[in-house]
Amino acid sequence: MKEKGKIKKKEKIAGSVKPHYRLLKKTQIEKIHEATLKILENTGVQVNHPEACEMLENVGCEIKEDNIVLMPRVLVERSIETAPASIHIYDQVGNLAMQLEGRKNYFGLGTDLKFTYDVESGETRESILQDVKNAAKVADYCDNIDFCSSFALPSDVETNMMYLECFKAELENTKKPIFFTAGGEEDLDFMIQMAQKVAGGKEKLHKKPFLVHYSEPTAPLMHSLGAVRKLFYCAEHEIPICYVPGVLMGASGPVTLAGGIVQANAEALSGIVLSQIKKQGAPIISGWAVVPLDMKSMTYCYGAPDFRLTNTAFADIYHHYNIPCWSIVGSDSHKMDQQAGMEHGASVLMAALDGANLIHDIGYLGQGLLGNPASIVMGDELIDYVKRILRGFTISEETLALDVIDKIGPGGDFLSQKHTLKHFRKELWRPKLMNRDPPQAWKKKGGKSYGEKAIEKAKEILATHSAKPLSKDVEKIIEEIYSEAKKKLKNVKFPA
């Protein structure tokens, strides 16, 4: 600082230097919020759930023809206030794993990929249940993967049992928190029964939840019967839920980024209203996926820069609301190639800088249709890289190292100095798989590409790693719940 042309002599030289990023100004957030309220008050959302419509009418909403609900400003803003600002998620043995609050980042897998790259055969095929188990094992091994998801939609399982089979496979192959989907309230209930047994009882799961359910409304501006049933189930049982809309710009929403954002925010906030009228304070994670539709190929674009902008916008908005938010990463490439690396690198870094809390879809390929265990390995190292950027560095007398520089002077070296030994491990990031060898050493080691090394590592993990198994007693009870579910879900038709 300068004062009357002079530098203050006694000013302390200290401080933490960290990257900061925001897209929207407060006035812009307020503009989007006001536009959102206009949609909810004047256009409304369709709620295809009779009990929900009755509850909404009782708290001041107007119910029009075809279950169109007009939500007053006061209700929406009250629901924002009552939604928790912080949600704590534990691992399956009761250790705190994620504090979803503020700008804290956590990274994990996504759900329901139809296809999988088989690291053994080198072929892409339809996903099977073993792929869910493989993804859980790799996620369990990787230090920077904070939570697990199915990462596959198994084609070798009956449709009514798909999600339950995935959940069971994850319980058996990882101890990390689980981000999961369900067909309906019916199979969701069986999954929660399983989770309660793993946690040691209903109360213990309530105190230390290790799972987050994922569901979504339907764009434009609709909440289906099935989605609201799951939302209400989670609210009633205080199961954390990530209830987020997906809007395709130019198809299920406006083609402009601002238009897509305000529509999605109306869908997201109306979901928060539904959650809070069912049970005030029910834990909910929000946000949205406002995604460009490629007008040439008609595809959903995971890797698009437009998508990164809408993700950053919702992070800014939900930090303003003080509600935990999710985020999405991934690639449109159908191989773990240069495009996949580029798009994953940009999306993981941006999501982290956004301050998003629950960052999912690590390792996604093929526009959200393709999984690859090796891409989880790549994601693990990429997250580690990004964490180093976010950590920044410290400016202090010790780190400025003026005494060391003075001691060495012009033409000297710092390799032999105690200062170097003391600080290099903390200051300088080291990769696990990325190449840092000079050309000849790299060739001598086989001249392998990053992709080849990631596949080798994935194979090694699958061959050698196992999560801590469930106890025999819990395993037996889960099998009993599974058998009962198989009987009861056989002829169930999940409502849309």
Question: Does residue 11 register a pLDDT over 50?
Answer: no
- Give the pLDDT confidence of 212-270 residue by residue, as tens digits: 999 999 999 999 999 999 999 999 999 999 999 999 999 999 999 999 999 999 999 99
Q: Tell me the residue ranges of DSSP E strands in 369-458.
A: 370-371, 393-395
Does residue 6 surpass a pLDDT of 70? no
> If you average pLDDT over residues 416-437, what whole number do you get?
96
Question: Does residue 201 have a pLDDT over 80?
Answer: yes
Residue 1: predicted pLDDT: 36
DSSP code at position 211:
E
The first and second tokens of residue 112, run together, are 């329901």
% residues pLDDT > 90 (the chain): 95
Distance between CA atoms of residues 189 and 229, nearest Å:
11
pLDDT digits (tens, 9 = 90+) for 12-36: 556 889 998 999 999 999 999 999 9
Per-residue pLDDT averaged across 198-220, rounded?
A: 97
Alpha-carbon separation of residue 46 from 63, 64, 75 (angstroms): 9, 9, 17
Closest CA to 241 of 255, 229, 259: 229
Q: How far apart are CA 94 and CA 96, in angstroms?
A: 7
Give mean pLDDT, residues 53-77. Answer: 98
The single-letter code of the amino acid at 133 is K
CB 131 within 8 A of CB 458: no
Bridge partners for 98 per DSSP: 89
DSSP-derived pairing of the beta strands 358-360 and 106-107: parallel
pLDDT score at 300: 87
How large is the C-alpha radius of gyration of the chain? Answer: 25
Residue 449 has pLDDT above 60, yes or no: yes
Q: Do the strands 45-47 and 68-70 form a parallel or antiparallel pair, or are they unpaired?
A: antiparallel
For residue range 41-50, what is the model confidence (pLDDT) as tens digits?
A: 999 999 999 9
- Closest to 39 measured CA to CA, from 75, 79, 78, 69: 69
Question: Would you state the pLDDT for residue 3?
Answer: 43
- pLDDT, position 13: 52
| Residue pLDDT, tens place only, 155-189 | 999 999 999 999 999 999 999 999 999 999 999 99
The pLDDT-based confidence of 205 (bands split at 50, 70, 90) is very high
